[in-house]
Structure formats: structure tokens, C-alpha cells
Structure 1
Amino acid sequence: MKEEQLSLPNLLHLVKEHEQQIRQIKSDELWLQLDEGPCYVSIWPIIGGGRQLGYLAVFSDRKYWDDVLRLTVNNALNVYAIEFIKQKLVMDTREQVKESFMNQLFSEKIEDPEKVVQYTTFINWNVYDSHRVAYLSVKLDMEVERESDLIGVEEKKSRLWDIMKMALSNQDQGVILTRKGDEFILISRVTNEQTNAKAYWQSMYQQVQKIAKAEMPSCHVYLGVGGRTERMEDYYFAYKQAVQTANLIRLRYPEAGFAIFEEFESYSLLHQLTDHKISTIFVQKKLAPLLRYTEGSGADLFQTLRIYLSNNGSMRETSEALYIHRSTLQYRLDKIREILQIDIEQAEQRFSLLMAYKLYDLLDLSPPQIC
């Protein structure tokens, strides 16, 4: 065959053009014609251990294919599968060692700080530089998740994580990517942000979202970014802040997709003061009656009060946000006063209710937990 027909750019262009078809092949090969003429590319899936590990591309004229050539390709596929599995075992072992050391940073008490420092130095990463810890949450639509098989979803998430690691590592050598159980974690030096932390993490989120949507179109991606670290002990708190920020984004501001912990100043203060048991009791006292009433009546008084407080008690803005008539809103507010036995126009009562809603979000509570 002519050398110019075997160029890698031509192959990559063809693969990109037929990406969906290639992803769907499970056992048989896929034949694609290269420009005009007799030259074809046959794409063969490399399968080992019941998993698809890669693809073999063969340039040739299709008319020359016979049983001997097919047998040769099958042998090649077996060799590639064995080598890919061996390489993946090595990579997985390295990743597990890395995760075991990195996860110590996210523990409240670091068991062996000296070993953590030794390992991070070995991978050319200075744990004492100022960093931010980000928590990445990938969620499927509820309907899709109910219909999907759990193992298949986890395999897709693992593949998604592998692709993200490659893409983000190539873009920014200063980013560390690791996992804590099923959680995806990113660590980036504060110096990477230059003078605009929001712009840096927004760019990171957009790239992550683009990759995720390409792999799992029905998924939603949320990125919570914790505060800065100055000491080794700070990584645990930065990690907790990142998780809570991602939860807040998912529950309250899903359209934003990402946020930095400092953007929620009131949540930052509550995080420092929070005693989970006491905070839950406080939320129960303030909001449980509304949740119990809402469950039985069909009128969402819980959400009505939240939006009313967020709009600083404006009847017009609240009714517009809820798409209800002003008289309907007035009826609901009267009902809320009756149920809670408080005057929601008083500044102290409003402050307490707002704090209860913020703790409800911060602690990621659900109605059954406080009713």
C-alpha cells in the first residue's frame, strides 16, 4: 500500500467521524473505507477478561482478506489483550498505592505523616504547597439510574474517570487526580489559579462536563471546591468543604454546576460551628412541621417559605418565582404562620428560619431524617 494512505491523521479523522459506530462493535470487525479507492480500515475490538480494552486498526484492500489473514488477526488480538491486561494490572496497582497514601490526607487524623511526605515527594508533589481540594460528583437522571444496571453504570463511571485523568493531566501537570472509594477528587495548586480562582475552576468544570456528557449524555456533573490548604492537616477540612459545596450545588444551584466554598460565606461559618446532632434538632424544630404538613396536603409550603425568605419577603418576586397568584401566596404564608406559630415578618424569626434552611442544605438532610 502507498505510504501516504497509512498516515495517522487520516486514521484519527476516520475514527472521529465514525466514533459512535466503533463504540457499538462488540465482537465482529467494522469496515470503513478510506477516502476513494480500494483502501479500507478494519476496526477490531480487543477484549480480555470480559472487558473491552481497546481496538486494533488494520489498513488493507478488503478483497485480499482470507481465512489465514483472519486467523493472524485473531492471534494478534489475543496477544494485545494479554499485554493490555498486564499493563492495566500494573497501572491499577500503582493507582491503588497512590490512593492509599492520598486518602490519608483526607482523614481527620493522619496515621503516618512522614510516609505521606515521602510518597508525595516520590511523585514530585509538594504537599506543603498551598492547594485546593475539589470534589467531583457525577449523577445520572433518576429515571435512567432506575432503569440502568448498577455494574454497567459503575463501569461507565470508571471509564469516564480514566478519560478525565488523561485529559486533565495533559492539560495541567500540576493537578493531582485520585479517588476516595467511589468519590472523584482533584487537587490543584493555588498558584494555578493566578489572580482569578473562579475563572480557573469554571474552565476546569467546563472541561470535565464536556468529557462527562460525551461519555454519559444523561449525567449531571457537580464540582465543589474547598478552601485553601496551608498545612498537611488542612486537607481533611478542605475535602469536607468540597463535598459539602458539591452537595449544596446539587440541591440548591444545579444550573451553576460548580462553586468555591468561600462563595457561601454563611455556610462557611456554619461549617465551623456545626455539631451535627444539635444542628439537626434545630432544623427539626424550625422546619419539620412544614415538611409534615406539605407531605399530606400537596401544597409545598416548605419550598414556598424558602423562596419567600430568599426574596427578602417580597410578595411580587416570590409569586413570580413560584408562578402562583399573589392571593395564593398570601394564603400559603398565612398557613405557614399558623403551622409554625411564629411571625415570619420578624427579623429574628427570619434569620432563624434562613439558618435552618442553610443547615438543612449543609448537612444534606432529607425529610425522613427530620420529620
Structure 2
Amino acid sequence: MCNLSKIIEIPSGFKIGCSIKESQLCKISNALNSSKRAILLGKEFYPERSIFLYDDFFEIRIIMSLLNTPEHELIRSTIIEPIESYDKKYKSYLIETLETCLNTSSLREASEKLFIHNSTLRYRFEKIHELTGVNFFSNLGRYSLTNAFLLLKLENIFGVGIKQD
């Protein structure tokens, strides 16, 4: 399935979503929903691709299961909202900084992509720590910030109030 794009030519702008295999006709609507979600997730997480397999989003689907739960509200109120509010008030780019650092392999690379000095990057993470109590430079802190950021992306994709599979 992953080599499908090598077998057929997919016109520019077309996206294909593939669900998990369903053997019962009565579950076809679940397969269709999974295919649609694969496309939505794929366009956000892998925009350069044209074919998206629902199975490729296992980790994201785990985080997605937190949407609209008390845990989601806790993460939103303690991590996401303080950072968003600070960004809005001071135009500080903390969310952008977090995203860049989570998508690069080093602080140096993140600094270069953001066109800022390494000390500015560290200052931004100190500010995130001050606002949320979560330290990016600890393993658990980075994990918490990663999950919060993924939840924020999922909110932007699906909104809140969606029913999970």
C-alpha cells in the first residue's frame, strides 16, 4: 500500500485515505470514517504525501482519544491556555517555538529555523516553564509538552466535541 504512489500517478492536490481492513459490510461506515480521518491527519502531519494509512497514526490516535475528556481539559487549562494567552498578549511565538523544537533534532537546528539566538530559545522555554510549571528540558516535561501540542493540533483539525471510534 505504501508503494501505491509509485504504481499509479496521483494528480496534484488529490489525497487518498486508507482505513484499517474491515471484513464485515456493516462496518463499512467505520472504514469510511477512518479513511476520512487518515486524510485529515495526513494533511496536517505529512502534507508532502498523497496517501495516508489510518494505521500510520497509531500514536496520534492515542492522543486523539483524550479529546473532550477531563484530562484534555486539564491539559488545556494548565498548559495550552497559559501559553496561548501569553502569545496573544505579547506576540511571543511560544507555540511556534515549541512546534519547531518538537520537529527538529537539536536546539541549534531549531534556533536556525526560527532565526533566533540559542539564548532566546532557552529564554522562551524558561517562560513556558514559568507559565505552566512544565520543564521542556526534563524527559517528562518534554513528553507533557509534546502531548499538549499534539492535542492543540488535533483541536485545530477536528475541533472539540467529535465522537471517537
Contact 1:282 1:356 in 2 (8 A): no
Which residue of 153, 161, 164 maps to 1:361? 153
What is the CA deviation profile of residues 137-171 of structure 1, one whole-angstrom value per residue up to 9, with x for unaligned ones? Answer: xxxxxxxxxxxxxxxxxxxxxxxxxxxxxxxxxxx
2:21 aligns with one of 198, 218, 228: 228
Could you say if the C-alpha distance between residues 283 and 238 of structure 1 is closer, same or farther in structure 2, counting changes exceeding 3 Å?
A: farther
Q: Distance in 2 between matches of 1:340 and 1:202?
A: 46
One of 344, 350, 357 as aligned partner of 2:142: 350
1:270 and 1:277 map into 2 onto residues whose CA distance is: 11
CA spacing shift, 1:281–1:324, aligned 2, 3 Å: same
Residue in 2 aligned with 1:135?
Answer: none
Call closer, same or farther: CA 1:258–1:300 in 2, change over 3 Å. farther
User: Which structure has greater strand proportion?
Assistant: 1
1:207 aligns with 2:29: no
1:243 paired with 2:36, answer yes
Rounded to whole Å, the distance in 2 between the matches of 1:253 and 1:319 is 22
Moved over 6 A (4+): none
User: What's the counterpart of residue 86 of structure 2?
Assistant: 293
Instruction: Identify if the C-alpha distance between structure 1 residues 229 and 316 changes in structure 2 by more than 3 Å, giving closer, same or farther.
Output: same
C-alpha separation between the residues in 1 aligned to 2:25 and 2:96?
A: 40
TM-fit CA distance, 1:226: 2.1
Conserved 8 A contact 2:20-2:54: yes
Q: Which residue of 2 aligns with 1:128?
A: none
Q: Are the equivalent residues in 1 in contact too, given 2:134–2:141 (CA < 8 A)?
A: yes
**What does 1:1-371 correspond to in 2, within 5 Å?**
197-201=1-5, 206-209=9-12, 220-271=13-64, 274=65, 276-278=67-69, 280-285=72-77, 286-311=79-104, 314-363=106-155, 364=157
Give the conservation status (yes or no) of the 8 Å contact 1:290–1:302: yes
Unaligned runs of at least 5 residues, structure 2: 160-165
The 1:324/1:353 distance shift into structure 2, 3 A limit, reads: same
Structure 2 residue identity aligned to 1:335: K
Instruction: Give the superposed CA RMSD.
Output: 2.6
Higher relative contact order (CA 8 A, sep 6+): 2
Offset from partner CA, 1:28-62 (integer Å, 9 cap, x none): xxxxxxxxxxxxxxxxxxxxxxxxxxxxxxxxxxx
TM-score normalized by the length of structure 2:
0.75
| SS of the residue 1:334 aligns to | helix
Larger Cα-atom Rg: 1
When the two structures are superposed, what TM-score results if normalisation uses the length of structure 1?
A: 0.37
The structure richer in helix per residue is 2
Alignment length (residue pairs) = 156
Which residues of structure 1 form unaligned runs of 5+?
Answer: 1-196, 210-219, 367-371
Q: Indicate conservation of the 8 Å contact 2:134/2:144, yes or no.
A: no
Deviations 1:315-335 (A, max 9, x none): 112112323222221222222
Gap change, CA 1:270 and 1:340, over 3 Å in 2: closer
User: What is the alpha-carbon distance in structure 1 between the residues aligned to residue 30 and residue 45 of structure 2?
Assistant: 22
Distance 1:358 1:203, change over 3 A: farther
Give the direction of change, closer, same or farther, for the CA distance of 1:275–1:265 in structure 2 (3 Å limit): closer
How far apart are the structure 1 equivalents of 2:117 and 2:62? 36
1:304 Cα offset (Å): 0.9
Alignment identity in percent? 22
Alignment CA distance shift 1:270-1:307 (3 Å): same
In the alignment, is the contact (CA less than 8 A) between 1:261 and 1:268 conserved in 2?
no
Could you tell me whether the CA contact under 8 Å between 1:244 and 1:362 is conserved in 2? Answer: no
Give the drift of 1:301.
0.7
1:45-100 deviation line (CA, Å, top 9, x unaligned): xxxxxxxxxxxxxxxxxxxxxxxxxxxxxxxxxxxxxxxxxxxxxxxxxxxxxxxx
In the alignment, is the contact (CA less than 8 A) between 2:135 and 2:141 conserved in 1?
yes
